[in-house]
Amino acid sequence: MKKKLGLMLVIALLMISVCALASATTYYVTGNSVRVRLGPSTDSEIIGHYSRGERVEVQWISNGWACIYYGSYGDGYISSKYLSKSKPSSNPKPSSSTTTTSTDIYKNFVTVNYQVIVNPTNNYVNMRWAPTKSAQVVRIYYYGAPLTVIAENGTWCQVRDETTGTVGFMMKSLLLRIN
């Protein structure tokens, strides 16, 4: 009798889980490098990131937080202000805080092609929309992340993530050439 009751409980829990996943709603990430957290709070541990335009299946939204299924972590949480039911354009328009009065920030870049990783002396490096520290962050990369440098000047590298196709700029001093 106890085994039968236990089996019925397991089946009921599985059915609830399937129903919860089936009722998920598709949203798209509108922010750049949006953090996924273990709990619905900015004090909660960061367990991952989503990039602009990525698809997310949302189970529910409450108090500014969206609950998502996040792989081996189970539930993960994203601030709902970075989600939209319509897919955003792939290239965000720079906000007034990311524009620069200089029209020559792209000057003196030369085309190159070599591999780099995020330097071991850095915990992470911000990939930016433009070659300036005031530009919006596109994505965050951690130590050892492989990237291809496609252009450079004395201070900045234009890099491409071959796995995602993401392109942006990183400070040259934060990267380590591997070939």
Walk me through the domains of the chain, giving residue ranges and CATH numbers. 21-84 (2.30.30.40), 110-177 (2.30.30.40)
pTM of the model: 0.45
- 3 state SS of 84: strand
Model confidence over 122-171: pLDDT tens digits?
Answer: 788 999 888 988 888 888 888 888 999 988 988 999 999 888 888 889 99
Model confidence over 90-110: pLDDT tens digits?
Answer: 555 444 444 444 446 777 888
Exposure of 16 in the CB half-sphere (CA atoms within 13 A): 6
> What is the rounded CA–CA span in Å between residue 41 and residue 24?
21
Cβ neighbour number for residue 103 with a 10 Å cutoff: 7
> What is the rounded CA–CA span in Å between residue 98 and residue 130?
8
- Mean pLDDT of all residues in 5-28: 59
Binned at pLDDT 50, 70 and 90, residue 9 comes out as low
The separation between the first and the last C-alpha atoms of the chain, rounded to the nearest angstrom, is 66
Size of the chain, expressed as the number of residues it contains: 179
